Structure 1
């Protein structure tokens, strides 16, 4: 067997300069936006680069400027379509500004704390994430990186760390009022993980809204933010007691699971149980669920994050912005419970 040929070295700016008959610095200027280079010179360089298949490396620019024009997007899994929608809006907006995204994944789906080591190892200009900062200790460590960080629905802010929040507590109260207006006198709250700050706020608002109507505190069901979690939690409740007349869920995935669990046991939504969720994921509008929900307005959240990063006065953190969640009433809460 003949020996393998060594890999062909990548085309360099020196090769382009040689073919174009210009200096290497002229090649660099031709690929630098705003640099001083004549149209004729730029055309010669671009023609030579196209012939050789040359693509300029961004590494020298990063070394010189200290800026990568890359925004880190930290995810903890995209099982919930809401997170994917927010990040899609944000990535699209970044691309229109000539910025690139670097995706980083951490094992914990709710907390940014696990991203600390990864963030310290990459040279990104800023970080956006749907994860929350889980502790003051983690906030201090993240602040020490001196990278602007914008989180969605995080309870904590700190120097260099800002948050874009849905009005979770107010939405929880509105969910309670909606169910009470439909005649619900005994309600349940499908809470999700205890370490989700957004879920805790929604639950508090829901309990406050029920109390304001003179109703009992909600039955609290715990699950893991997933479809399977919602299905299992509702199934476990119905093994112990009849289901409540109304159910508010911390997210739409759990609401869909709970609806299917109710129907698997011969109950109707909304005939027997009214159900509302949160996030307005695409599945919520499917005819099989027709789910009343709260739309966090992902596009507005992404726009607010960019505003924080664009303004030097706010990019250094400590900011909190609230985007009102919009109630979308569908068939799962139609009619009255009698």
Structure 2
């Protein structure tokens, strides 16, 4: 650019041609610059960029045209300080190595943006509990929190309630004032898994459990035990892992050393189920010929031909819609926000080849 050359070009608004003043490339663009270029007051600029602001369509058009010429973007911080509302929702995630949590995050982001809310991503090392996000959440100016993580302890629930912002969790056993949860019907799904495997002729079963502090894992286990008891079947062999592919593989590999293999596995999630299938095959067993396997979450890998895994779909889209309903009602009414509420979404059984009936 030549010395003294204008950084911006003129703009035409209606019958008026507006010539911008000369600026240096490093000068920040402010609402005062927009007001000068548009020939309006600074308050008119502010109202033009405020949802529901009192300004005529002609003046707003004039302001937006001038802002486009200057490349102006309004600073949201003063508005946040005046209103106390940022329209930012903290989305707390952990364990993104599991495709299920990535799918939850994607759905949350879509539904939140659709209603004009912005996403602030907060990552915590614990893939199960929201407890580790306490310090970070206290330091951010967010209007609410949504998360696929559960509240792990009653002490954490009390501390989160003290933040006095709406919090919506997935599959949390604990609720409290300001904390609501959307749950998959884990217990009913566990019962359904037991009945499916019993119908396929399995008598000796195994429960490949996730971490003991996972509320969802415990609910699935209770349902599985109830379902087996209802069919007069013995309790399953229980193996505990960490909801990962490698733990699923290692747990089943160790079980098969010197032991007669179960006829069926119900796994805490699909990642463990995929590991279990590979361990069974490494041991010379076939799925479903020798052993049947059921997972949970219906991640994309479950449909891969190499696994063809029967699984329970948590219906993340419906859970995200339920979470959004809890969230928006809490943001609109503080009295509603202070009440912890629970929504339950049924898990949908997706049958695939890993539980196919025996060929005659």
> What secondary structure, in the 3-state scheme, does the structure 2 residue paired with 1:117 have?
helix
CA gap of 1:196–1:127, structure 2 versus 1, over 3 A, is: same
Aligned mate of 1:147, from 146, 158, 165:
165
CA distance in 1, matches of 2:95, 2:209: 19
CA distance in 1, matches of 2:222, 2:82: 50
CA gap of 1:240–1:15, structure 2 versus 1, over 3 A, is: farther
Tell me what 1:3 maps to. Answer: none
Task: Give per-residue Cα distances to partners, 1:11-51, cap 9 Å, x unaligned.
Answer: 11112112222211111111112111122211221111111
1:247 aligns with 2:265: yes
Q: CA deviation at 1:7?
A: 8.8
Tell me what 1:324 maps to. Answer: 346
CA gap of 1:185–1:242, structure 2 versus 1, over 3 A, is: same
Q: Is the 8 A contact 1:291 1:329 kept in 2?
A: yes
CA distance in 1, matches of 2:152, 2:39: 57
CA distance in 2, matches of 1:142, 1:274: 42
Q: How many residues align?
A: 333
Aligned mate of 1:64, from 82, 106, 116:
82
RMSD of aligned residue pairs (Cα, Å): 1.6
CA distance in 2, matches of 1:293, 1:240: 29
Tell me what 2:301 maps to. Answer: 283
CA distance in 2, matches of 1:221, 1:62: 50
Which has the higher Rg, Structure 1 or Structure 2?
Answer: 2
Q: CA deviation at 1:337?
A: 9.5
> What secondary structure, in the 3-state scheme, does the structure 2 residue paired with 1:127 have?
strand
> What secondary structure, in the 3-state scheme, does the structure 2 residue paired with 1:307 have?
helix
Q: CA deviation at 1:10?
A: 2.5
Equivalences for 1:11-26 in 2 at 5 Å? 11-26=29-44
- Runs of at least 4 residues of structure 1 off by over 3 A? none
Q: Is the 8 A contact 1:176 1:209 kept in 2?
A: yes
TM-score by length of 1: 0.95
> Which runs of 5 or more structure 2 residues have no equivalent in the other structure?
1-23
Tell me what 1:193 maps to. Answer: 211
> What secondary structure, in the 3-state scheme, does the structure 2 residue paired with 1:133 have?
coil
Q: CA deviation at 1:288?
A: 1.1
Aligned mate of 1:120, from 134, 138, 144:
138
> What secondary structure, in the 3-state scheme, does the structure 2 residue paired with 1:73 have?
strand
Equivalences for 1:292-303 in 2 at 5 Å? 292-303=310-321
Task: Give per-residue Cα distances to partners, 1:116-159, cap 9 Å, x unaligned.
Answer: 11111111111100101011111000001000000000000000
